[in-house]
């Protein structure tokens, strides 16, 4: 067995004092990134006519990428690859230093390769992104509290919608696979680490560099296009659009790296005896999610590179006047966009399928059906993208086939439902917080799913597309189902990740505020949408006043619930009750390791002899 500790022996590892690696951290990354960004900006602009939009776009985009590169250089991400270029590698001591052993809190601010540190970094980062996106949502709903409220100008409103959308989408894509896929998943499969620990750190810190880039949009005039950034609107938009383009390109690199890493880890590093039919369902869901993201996100990145070229180099990929096509953008976007919905949904649902057997003390009902459901969703999700383009005028003869593939996706989704219902059937649920989320999911996903069937139907979509009905539908699936699953995961694995129990009372208050507010907000929005209120518009006709006012009240309830959850997390992390090793009595491997989880997780490599859901039956 070759592990880091075996390589360097059992002695405490001294800091490799002479190594540059020990000098680099987030602070040096920020400084060098800022120097690269501003240095590039002022150097490039001195030779450009900055009254020409294309030159401004060019200078800003290059500066943003240089920020990201400079930060990664400053935090030490390229030391290992540079050593490879000169035929060397990091020493064992340096590798152990990178793993963060014995560094306390400071390891969370370094280029740390320990998957548990990366998991915590993702958790905090995702919570921050959700906080920002949620705050923007409160602003949007405040502006819509009554017709003509003029809380913000239409220009700022458009930016609010665009930034809320893209911030939430980025956060939701990593909300489950980021924290739990990194912290919990390797332990669940009995691995000592991820397959590529340095890529693991790279994926987080690259994503981190995208956050300031996205925030810079505020200071550059905002994003006026909504999160879909449709061309040609995105091509002619102001300087803030560069922040969107750069963010997506950087984010796509991060997700590709993370996806490849998680997939490789699950395929190659499962414990002895963990055959595919013994892999915990969360691992299956998370792996399918990231594997689906690997082919999906590059098309988004390509669309953004083309947008960047149209904005900076005078190409006309999306300009119909010169042989380009706006449909080309729509295709590239939605070929990513619809699988992306399931990239978000699958791990959230998988968490709930992981939670349900634990809290009803029954085996997961039809593990095979669950796998088929996931596989069916993943497979069909790449064949449905053009249902977003029914009304665009692109090849109407294909509307029918895309309607069929879209409606077919209800079948594997139904399987997932049946698996959860079958698991609950005649069980005696232990009504803890994670279990409440399972029931909330069933309700929300039912509404999200059924309303989605109407939108998949071409004649109905003719009436409903572009309305608040669509907004309500996808919030029911993404927030009502996927985020609810992620919150269940947070509560469920909080004891393993922090060593403490989450404050239950605050958790219940948060749950009910959030779920009740959610129903009020989005059921109200369904009504407004069915009556014809368009989405993404700052003002509306007086006829929608009541629906919108009700929706805004619901939004404030959600806001209160989410702040309460944030308090529960912060308070419990600091002062919560000390958690036992396995507070839920679960059977998966992560509950067999103590807190804090040792650097390489297991003293002895585990050997798996049964499936992880053998509640109430003898082991096979």
Partner 1 sequence: MTTTTSTRNNKSAIGGLIFVLLGVIVVSTVGVVLHTLSADPQKKLYATVSGTMSTPQGVLPHAFIEEGVYPDSVLSKSHGANGGSHPGWPSYGPATHLVLPAHSYVTMTLTVYDSGEKLNHAYFGKVVGTVDGTMTIDGTQVSALPADGVQHTFTLHGLPTSTQDPLFVNVPLPKMTDDQMKVYDDKGTLPVGHKVVFSFITGGKGEYVWNCEYPCGDGTYAKFGAVMGQLGYMSGKVSVA
Token representation of residue 419: 């698996």
Residue 442 phi, psi dihedral angles, 5° rounding: -60, -40
**Looking at the DSSP assignment, which residues form a beta bridge with residue 467?**
534
Residue carrying structure tokens 């968490």: 351
Structure tokens at 285: 């869901």
Q: Around 221, how many Cα atoms within 13 Å sit in the side-chain half-sphere?
A: 12
Helix axes 281-312, 367-381, angle to 10 degrees: 10
Q: Which is nearer to partner 1, 2 or 321 (CB)?
A: 321
Nearer CB in complex with partner 1: 397/542: 542
For the bound state, the minimum distance from the C-beta of residue 319 to partner 1, rounded and expressed in Å, comes to: 6
Q: Which is nearer to partner 1, 135 or 592 (CB)?
A: 135
Name all contacts of 598-602 with Cβ < 8 Å and 24+ positions apart. Answer: 599/4, 599/5, 599/99, 599/101, 599/114, 600/3, 600/4, 600/5, 600/192, 600/193, 601/186, 601/187, 601/191, 601/192, 601/193, 602/190, 602/192
We find the least distance from the C-beta atom of residue 512 to partner 1, in angstroms, to be: 14
SS (H, E, C) 142-174: HHCCCCCCCCCCHHHHHHHHHHHHHHHHHHHHH
Distance CA(202)–CA(99), nearest Å, equals 13
Nearer to partner 1, 196 or 317 (CB): 317
What is the separation of C-alpha 526 from the centre of its chain, rounded to a whole number of angstroms?
Answer: 25
By C-beta, is 143 or 176 nearer to partner 1? 143
The CB-of-572 to partner 1 minimum distance in angstroms stands at 10
Q: How far is the CB of 138 from partner 1 (least distance, A)?
A: 5
Which ranges constitute the DSSP H helices of 275-361? 281-312, 326-360
Sign of the four-CA dihedral 614, 343, 465, 405? negative
Looking from the CA of 444 toward its CB, the CA atoms found within 13 Å total 31
- Of the pair 23, 150, the CB lying nearest partner 1 is at 150
Whole-number minimum distance, CB 155 to partner 1, in Å?
7
When the beta carbons of 278 and 571 are compared against partner 1, the nearer one is: 571
C-alpha–C-alpha distance, residues 418 and 406, integer Å: 19
* Least CB distance to partner 1 at residue 231 (A): 9
Q: Which is nearer to partner 1, 236 or 592 (CB)?
A: 236
Q: In angstroms, what is the minimal distance from the CB of 216 to partner 1?
A: 16
Question: Which residue lies nearer to partner 1 by CB, 134 or 524?
Answer: 134
- Mutual angle of helices 399-408 and 410-424, in 10-degree steps: 10
Query: Is 65 strand, coil or helix?
Result: helix
User: Least distance to partner 1 from the beta carbon of 17, Å?
Assistant: 42
Residue 391 — φ and ψ, nearest 5°? -95, 10
Smallest distance from partner 1 to CB 203, Å: 30
Residue 343 or 490: the one with the smaller Cβ distance to partner 1 is 490
**Least spacing, CB of residue 510 vs partner 1, in Å:** 10
Binding interface with partner 1 (CB under 8 A): 51, 53, 135, 138-139, 142, 147-148, 150-153, 155-156, 160, 224, 232, 235-238, 319, 321, 503, 505-506, 539-542, 559-560, 563-564, 566-568, 570-571, 575
Q: Which is nearer to partner 1, 132 or 589 (CB)?
A: 132
CB of 37 to partner 1, least distance (A): 22
């Amino acid at each position: 067995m070759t592990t880091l500790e075996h390589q360097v022996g059992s002695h405490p590892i001294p800091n490799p004092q002479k190594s540059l690696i020990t000098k680099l951290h987030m602070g040096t990354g920020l400084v060098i990134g800022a120097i690269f960004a501003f240095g590039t900006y002022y150097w490039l602009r001195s030779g450009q006519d900055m009254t020409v939009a294309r030159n401004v776009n060019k200078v800003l985009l290059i500066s943003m990428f240089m920020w990201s590169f400079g930060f990664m250089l400053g935090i030490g991400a390229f030391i290992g690859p540079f050593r490879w270029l000169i035929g060397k590698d990091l020493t064992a001591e340096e590798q152990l230093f990178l793993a963060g052993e014995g560094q306390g809190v400071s390891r969370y601010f370094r280029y740390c390769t320990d998957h548990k540190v990366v998991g915590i970094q993702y958790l905090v980062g995702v919570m921050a992104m959700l906080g920002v996106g949620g705050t923007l949502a409160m602003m949007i709903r405040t502006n819509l509290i009554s017709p003509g409220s003029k809380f913000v100008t239409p220009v700022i409103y458009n930016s609010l919608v665009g930034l809320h959308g893209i911030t939430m989408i980025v956060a939701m894509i990593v909300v489950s696979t980021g924290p739990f896929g990194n912290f919990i998943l390797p332990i669940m499969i009995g691995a000592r680490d991820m397959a590529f620990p340095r890529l693991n750190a790279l994926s987080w810190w690259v994503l981190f560099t995208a956050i300031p880039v996205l925030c810079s949009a505020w200071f550059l005039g905002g994003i006026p296009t909504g999160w879909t950034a449709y061309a040609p609107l995105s091509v002619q938009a102001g300087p803030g659009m560069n922040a969107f383009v750069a963010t997506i390109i950087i984010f796509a690199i991060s997700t590709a790296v993370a996806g490849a890493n998680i997939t490789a880890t699950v395929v190659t590093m499962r414990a002895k005896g963990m055959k595919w039919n013994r892999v915990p369902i969360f691992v299956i869901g998370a792996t399918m999610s990231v594997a689906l993201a690997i082919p999906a996100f590059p098309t988004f990145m390509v669309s953004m590179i083309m947008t960047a070229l149209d904005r900076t180099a005078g190409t006309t990929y999306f300009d119909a006047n010169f042989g380009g096509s706006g449909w080309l953008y729509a295709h590239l976007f939605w070929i990513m966009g619809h699988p992306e919905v399931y990239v978000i949904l699958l791990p959230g649902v998988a968490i709930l399928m992981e939670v349900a057997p634990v809290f009803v003390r029954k085996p997961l009902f039809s593990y095979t059906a669950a796998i088929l459901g996931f596989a069916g969703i993943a497979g069909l999700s790449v064949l449905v993208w053009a249902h977003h383009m029914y009304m665009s005028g692109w090849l109407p003869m294909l509307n029918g086939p895309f309607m069929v593939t879209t409606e077919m996706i209800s079948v594997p989704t139904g399987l997932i439902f049946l698996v959860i219902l079958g698991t609950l059937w005649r069980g005696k649920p232990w009504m803890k917080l994670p279990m409440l989320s399972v029931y909330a999911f069933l309700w929300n996903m039912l509404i999200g799913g059924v309303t989605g069937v109407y939108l998949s139907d071409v004649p109905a979509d003719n009436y409903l597309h572009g309305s608040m009905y669509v907004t309500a539908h996808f919030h029911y699936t993404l927030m009502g189902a996927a985020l609810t699953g992620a919150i269940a995961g947070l509560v469920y694995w909080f004891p393993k990740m922090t060593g403490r129990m989450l404050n239950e009372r605050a958790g219940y208050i948060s749950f009910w505020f959030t779920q009740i507010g959610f129903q009020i907000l989005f059921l109200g929005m369904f009504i407004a949408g069915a009556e014809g209120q368009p989405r993404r518009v700052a003002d509306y006709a007086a006829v929608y006043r009541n629906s919108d006012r009700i929706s805004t009240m619901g939004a404030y309830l959600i806001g209160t619930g989410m702040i309460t959850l944030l308090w529960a997390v912060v308070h419990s992390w600091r002062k919560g009750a000390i958690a036992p090793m396995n507070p839920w009595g679960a059977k998966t491997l992560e509950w067999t390791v103590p807190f804090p989880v040792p650097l390489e997780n297991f003293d002895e490599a585990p050997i798996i002899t049964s499936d992880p859901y053998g509640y109430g039956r003898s082991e096979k």
